[in-house]
């Protein structure tokens, strides 16, 4: 009993010093005013350029401050090229347009860079006037885009009910600009500040995002859920553990999205890896489920929730759309977990002898998971400067 309690205390101690943003997103924020005045902003996290964006290290302010001027200029040039390659902008019925962005180095959501640990991003701003007769605005994420593109819009000073996350190759909904530019005919299905039903569209869209962040992108989360499954295939222990895990990461997802928790990924990511190893090792040395494990699962769930927060807390959007996006993403995560558990159950249901199941499935698979967890934990600790 002492060993798990010490582990829980260690995790709690680390968490109290610590929002993690392991999965970078690409926010596109647009604002349209009376008379057609428009401001469109993109925010490029340098991690997006890496082969595996969610595993790449941040560019922190402490490193940026000592970066030579040519390297800073190279960041801007790379952001320009990347935006041109992965984003397309459309004014309807005119067609595709080429924004003339002005670029600057900022913190996330244009927050000033103050602390050494503040992540650095490259922000592009295009201020223009939409031509008369333009009926709508939309964007497309290119097939080569490796991250989700957030499509966020304000019309006449009011945030639209509907927001979206675009995956590679997807086209956004249309923002209705007829009230600003004198266009006579609106695009069918276009959304404006008076449109209703946007919350539900947002909810459904973010279910997809939450699912994808588990299957196939969340390998560490998949292994943790498998660790829960392996201890006991009985539905009651499994239900208790998954429910406790769900409750925990729902809490921290909400806290992170509201900005109440601010934890560096350098703390969260090693703990997530350690949680995978801990649960797997527990499976090896303990053959039966006991209720104390719920406390361990709850605490680790809090940490995993921080990992799932991603760029969500940096959207700086409020109201019902933000709530529905949060709920949708969380439900998508749950669907992803259920998919993992269902697949594991389907692969092992035929093994009826529990001793054989433990000998040939639980122990070997838990051993592999534990080794991976320890390896990731060490790798993430060493990778932190």
| Tokens found for residue 194 | 């008076």
CA separation for the pair 27, 125 (Å, rounded):
12
The per-residue DSSP string of 40-86 comes to EEEEE-GGGGSSSGGGSPP-BHHHHTTS-HHHHHHHHHHHHHHHHHH
Residue/partner pairs of 258-264 with CB below 8 Å, 24 or more apart: 258/313, 259/19, 259/313, 261/18, 261/19, 261/306, 262/18, 262/19, 263/15, 263/17, 263/18, 263/19, 263/20, 263/306, 264/18, 264/20, 264/117
Res 309: pLDDT = 64
How many residues can be counted in the chain?
Answer: 385
Provide φ and ψ at 186, rounded to 5°.
Answer: -80, 150
Going from N- to C-terminal start, the domains of the chain cover 2-20+213-382, 26-196
Is 339 in contact with 215 (CB distance < 8 Å)? yes
Q: Can you name the residues that pair with 138 across neighbouring β-strands?
A: 90
Q: Can you name the residues that pair with 100 across neighbouring β-strands?
A: none
Res 142: pLDDT = 95
Integer CA distances (angstroms), 27 to 30, 42, 186, 333, in order = 10, 6, 26, 21
Res 72: pLDDT = 94
Closest by CA position to 213, among listed 51, 376, 45, 333? 333
Is 202 in contact with 161 (CB distance < 8 Å)? yes
Is 113 in contact with 104 (CB distance < 8 Å)? no
Q: Can you name the residues that pair with 89 across neighbouring β-strands?
A: 97, 139
3-class DSSP state of 148: coil
Residue with tokens 């592009």: 124
pLDDT in tens, the chain (385 residues): 333 333 333 333 333 333 333 567 899 999 999 889 999 999 999 988 887 776 677 888 999 999 999 999 999 999 999 999 999 999 999 999 999 999 999 988 788 888 887 889 999 999 999 988 899 999 999 999 888 899 999 999 888 988 888 989 999 999 999 988 877 788 888 888 878 777 888 888 889 888 888 887 778 888 988 998 888 887 888 888 888 888 888 888 778 767 777 777 678 888 888 989 999 999 998 878 777 888 888 988 888 888 766 555 555 565 667 778 888 888 888 888 889 988 998 888 888 888 888 899 999 999 999 999 999 888 878 864 4
Res 66: pLDDT = 94
CA quadruple 214, 219, 220, 225: dihedral sign: positive
Residue with tokens 């190759």: 169
CA separation for the pair 385, 383 (Å, rounded):
6
């Amino acid at each position: 009993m002492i060993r798990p309690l010490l582990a829980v205390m260690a995790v709690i101690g680390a968490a109290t010093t610590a929002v993690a943003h392991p999965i970078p997103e690409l926010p596109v924020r647009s604002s349209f005013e009376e008379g057609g005045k428009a401001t469109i902003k993109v925010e490029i996290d340098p991690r997006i350029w890496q082969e595996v964006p969610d595993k790449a290290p941040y560019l922190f302010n402490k490193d940026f401050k000592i970066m030579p001027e040519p390297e800073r200029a190279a960041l801007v040039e790379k952001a320009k090229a990347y935006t041109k390659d992965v984003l397309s902008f459309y004014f309807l019925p005119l067609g595709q347009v080429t924004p003339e962005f002005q670029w600057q180095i900022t913190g996330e959501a244009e927050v000033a860079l103050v602390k050494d640990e503040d992540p650095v991003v490259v922000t592009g701003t295009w201020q223009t006037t939409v031509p008369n007769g333009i009926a709508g605005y939309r964007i497309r994420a290119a097939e080569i885009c490796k991250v989700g593109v957030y499509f966020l819009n304000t019309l006449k000073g009011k945030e639209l009910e509907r927001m979206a996350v675009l995956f590679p190759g997807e086209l956004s909904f249309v923002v209705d600009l007829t009230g600003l530019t004198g266009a006579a005919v609106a695009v069918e299905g276009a959304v404006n500040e008076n449109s209703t039903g946007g919350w539900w569209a947002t909810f459904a869209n973010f279910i997809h995002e939450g699912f994808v962040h588990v299957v196939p992108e969340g390998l560490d989360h998949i292994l943790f859920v498998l660790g829960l499954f392996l201890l006991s295939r009985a539905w009651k222990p499994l239900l208790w553990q998954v429910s406790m895990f769900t409750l925990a990461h729902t809490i921290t997802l909400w806290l992170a999205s509201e900005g109440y928790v601010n934890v560096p990924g350098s703390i969260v990511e090693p703990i997530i890896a350690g949680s995978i190893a801990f649960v797997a090792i527990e499976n090896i040395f303990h053959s039966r489920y006991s209720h104390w494990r719920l406390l361990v699962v709850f605490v680790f769930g809090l940490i995993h929730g921080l990992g799932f927060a991603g760029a969500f807390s940096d959207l700086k959007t409020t109201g019902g759309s933000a709530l529905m996006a949060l709920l949708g993403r969380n439900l998508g995560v749950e669907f992803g977990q259920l998919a993992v558990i269902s697949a594991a159950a389907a692969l092992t249901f035929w093994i009826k002898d529990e001793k054989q199941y433990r000998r040939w499935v639980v122990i070997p698979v838990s051993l592999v998971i534990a080794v991976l967890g320890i390896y990731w934990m060490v790798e993430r600790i060493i990778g932190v400067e």
